[in-house]
Chains A and B, each alone.
Chain A
């Protein structure tokens, strides 16, 4: 019987479709759980899942700056209290549209973003219980184009723009 880090198999034909946790990276202060796209698994859309750990303060001063994607995006905020699955254990700020409409969520919440619709900054304001963030782009690769001009100058100047580069838009 072959072994693959936590997966016991009797044959190996389909083993390539099993991706056990092998991460160790952190983002926004929490461990990455899974990262998938068409390069990693042919035929897969883009999925990125990570923990967000307790913090009294926002882990990002401005947050993910305003941007668009070519494909629909879903941002799934999942609280980890099974006795109250709606309790996110956190407060998250999200801006929608070129008008920068502000929303603050404290419940487990799905945000659907149509292709080409400006959204963000996104940032956790406070976290009292670890929760799980699932980022989905319904296309084979992540695409992103930023709109720095939508941020007020005092915020724009706080962003390290080398971290936020357009990709997938030629």
Chain B
């Protein structure tokens, strides 16, 4: 089987400052790869560089659509935007960055559906209700505006908005950051369920090892812009080889 996403030797600098360098990643269909690191490790730069939000300085990003292999950094901007609209999805840490606040909840979910050509209001409405159910938002909120939603609800709405067209690759940047612990737990359970049910391929960035342990199959540990260790998630966390990974693992408080 071909990896659905492969990143080779990716580099992104901010002037002379290293954003991330020598980064590699392979993501297979149905896999979750977690990228962990502390503040300044370069993990956000990395995920932004591979999802189209930032343009890296060098490296290769290959996406397998099933019909062909796309060299993501070489294609035209119009094709890139089309991919970002259809096959890729990005769940932001702050859900307000990933939602239209002046459009109703249902309208937000409907946008991706209509941008791929759906034109039946009744069907679109049914799909919206299905997804509100999936992300456990009460159906009665379908016509409400996001400004009336709590943080957890906003994040669940953003997840629904992104997943409604079954994108091939989903990028998540700290999807539970900034949320209350109980709310976080609910969203993690939701993500876990959706990943398994829909066989999603996900790259998720977090500073929280527990989140990554829960969701990821493979893990990349970043420090100072580089990957210091990578491999099977449970292996890297249970038998860390690199000194930094050992430090990270030993620093996590047990409840």
Q: Do A and B bind each other?
A: no
Chain A residues within CB distance 8 Å of chain B:
none
Chain B residues within CB distance 8 Å of chain A:
none
